[in-house]
Chain A
Amino acid sequence: MTTASLRLFFVGSVFAYRALFNWLSPGGYIFQKMAFPLVQLAFFALVGAFGGARPLSFYLLGNAMIVTFQAMFSIANAVADERWQGTLPYVVGSPANRVVLFFGRGAVHVFDGIIDVVAALGLAVLVFGLDLSHATWPGIALAALVGSLGACAFGLFIGAVAYLVLDANFLANLALFAIVLLTGANVPLEELPSWAGTLSTLLPLTRTVAASRGFAAGGELAAGLPLLAGDVVVAAVWGLAGFALFQTLETQARRRGTLEGF
């Protein structure tokens, strides 16, 4: 990768992030960005505690990983909003490396997602008394990183699909609830119907949730790494699928002159 491409990757990523959040005050940032996933965590943890089928830590850890998916909304909008903000023709017309341009949209959000997980685990420990005294912290940190990567990759895919269906928020909300239901964060995978179990394997958080529970219980890093590696592969597939779709749509738009209408 050349210096120019590296610069494009980092500058593009930082600006994609700042365009979404720079205008917010710190209070606004916390409410908009962090409060929603944290209260969602609290809600499902309390429902789980009421149900009593699994220990509270089962729900806390599952939903702490789900908070990374807040980044999915940001990235999906950052990609899809190029059209609404009138900047899509410049993106398509620029000579910039498409891979760098596309994947750069999500880079800063990966780290932002990790901050969300830290906040979620803090809430789980301080408010719900989650015991992480035996946790394998490098494993937890890796799980947060992989979960966040998966969220960003999924966001890139949804952002590309939104060029076709025109509503990134609707798609991202739909994806979020599918993730809440199907990744094992709230419902054990063995309880789901077989077709739903198959769907869960295609989602980029299913193995991370399982790995994080192992790490929180003090499991060895090596035992969880294959699970995390599986989710890295799934995330890569979603990200590449998003890029392939973006490329296809760009080619079609150039060929047919339908940039604002594909």
Chain B
Amino acid sequence: MRRELRAFSASTRLWLRYMAVDRFMLFCAFVQPFFIAVTVMYMLHHQPQFDPVYVVVGSALTGIWSVVLFDGSWAINSERFQGTLELLVGAPSSLYAVIAGKLAGGMAFSVTSMALSYAVGAWLFGYSIVVRDVPAFAVAFVLALIAIGALGVLIAPLGILARSVRQFLTVLEHPIYILGGFLFPVLLLPGWLLPISYALPPYWAAVALHGTSSGELSGVAFAEVCAVLLLSSLACFVLAAPLFRLVLRRARVEGTLSLT
């Protein structure tokens, strides 16, 4: 366990340094949430019940998801691209710990999009950004990050097991903005899409963060949403484990990892 934690920690630190100089990730974490926050502020500010914190939270979620999506699909592929994948799977350290460490670094990096979205609302537009239930929001924020990160862990091996899946993953950015209800209620969607929304951790992350920031989610309802976030995170980790085993099998037994 200690060895896994060391691999996890080293991988997180290394990946943070990598992301700090990666222009695309900088774009996902800083530039894109900025433009989305400004555009959506203009689009929603006519609403009678307009709450700027809704846009701040929603825009930050777009940044977090974009970083996780691209980070997740790149976490293993970057090793293949650099020719280090075979070395990594041959090392005694757990591949799972290394990739989870990378994604943890990505999550930490993506948190900056929350600060940026806050700056857009508070400084650029001059709104008073007030989180109504700060302790609950803090809990929701941590759980939301874990849930979205867990989805990234699930995505990571998919991208390397099949090229066709990787093509599909890269266009999942806006669909999750939509199905997650980041910047509008999912009730605007057709009814047949709602079960898909409810099955996605980003949807529950948005419910938790919007609900606690507006003060509309508390007590039992808040506890239920937290439970769903934890369970969905667990489900992603459990589902990811056999996929990682398949990656290892392709590399160690079949020797076909670089051929997919």
Q: Which residue of B lies closest to A191 (CB)?
A: B42
Report the Cα distance A35→B168, complex, angstroms: 9
Contact between chains at B27 and A174 (CB < 8 Å)? yes
Residues of A within 8 Å of B32, CB to CB, are: 173, 177
Distance in angstroms between the alpha carbons of A44 and B44 in the assembled complex: 11
A162–B61 Cα distance when bound, in Å, is 30
Q: Is B31 in contact with chain A by the CB < 8 A criterion? A: yes
Query: How many residues does chain B have at the interface if contact means C-beta atoms less than 8 Å apart?
Result: 31
B35-59 to A contact mask, C-beta < 8 Å, 1/0? 1101110111111000000000000
Chain A facing B: main interface SS:
helix
B184 touches A169 (CB 8 A): no
Interface string of A57-92 (1 = CB under 8 A from B): 000000000000000000000000000000000000
Assess whether B164 is in contact with A39, with CB atoms less than 8 Å apart.
Answer: no
Do the beta carbons of A39 and B35 come within 8 Å of each other? no
> Known: A169-B24, A170-B27, A173-B32. Is A43-B174 also a contact (CB below 8 A)?
yes
Q: Is the CB of A177 within 8 A of B42?
A: no
Interface string of A35-60 (1 = CB under 8 A from B): 11001101110111111110000000
Cβ of B36: which chain A residues have Cβ within 8 Å of it? 177
B29 to chain A, nearest CB (A): 13
Inter-chain contact B174/A39, CB cutoff 8 Å: yes
Q: In whole angstroms, how far apart are the Cα atoms of A175 and B168 in the complex?
A: 24
On whether A47 and B171 interact (CB within 8 A), knowing A170-B24, A177-B35, A181-B38, the answer reads no
A31 interface residue (CB < 8 Å to B): yes
Contact of A39 among B38, B167, B178, B184 (CB under 8 A): B178
Instruction: With A31-B168, A31-B171, A187-B39 as known contacts, state yes or no: A51 contacts B27, CB within 8 Å.
Output: no
B185 contacts chain A at the CB level, 8 A cutoff: yes
Say yes or no for B177: interface residue by CB 8 A criterion.
Answer: yes
Cβ-defined contact, A181 with B23, below 8 A = no
Q: CB distance B31 to A50 under 8 Å?
A: no
Smallest distance from the beta carbon of B96 to chain A beta carbons, Å?
Answer: 28
B256 within 8 A of A: no
State whether A50 and B185 are in contact (beta carbons under 8 Å apart), knowing that A173-B31, A181-B35, A186-B43 are contacts in the complex: yes
Say if the beta carbon of B183 comes within 8 Å of chain A: yes
Q: List 18 A-B contacts (CB under 8 A).
A: A24-B167, A28-B167, A31-B167, A39-B174, A39-B178, A43-B183, A46-B178, A47-B40, A47-B44, A48-B43, A49-B188, A50-B47, A51-B47, A53-B43, A173-B31, A181-B38, A181-B39, A191-B42
B→A interface (CB under 8 Å) = 23-24, 27, 31-32, 35-36, 38-40, 42-47, 164, 167-168, 170-171, 173-175, 177-178, 183-185, 188-189
Binding site for B on A (CB under 8 A): 24-25, 27-28, 31-32, 35-36, 39-40, 42-44, 46-53, 167, 169-170, 173-174, 177-178, 180-181, 186-187, 191-192
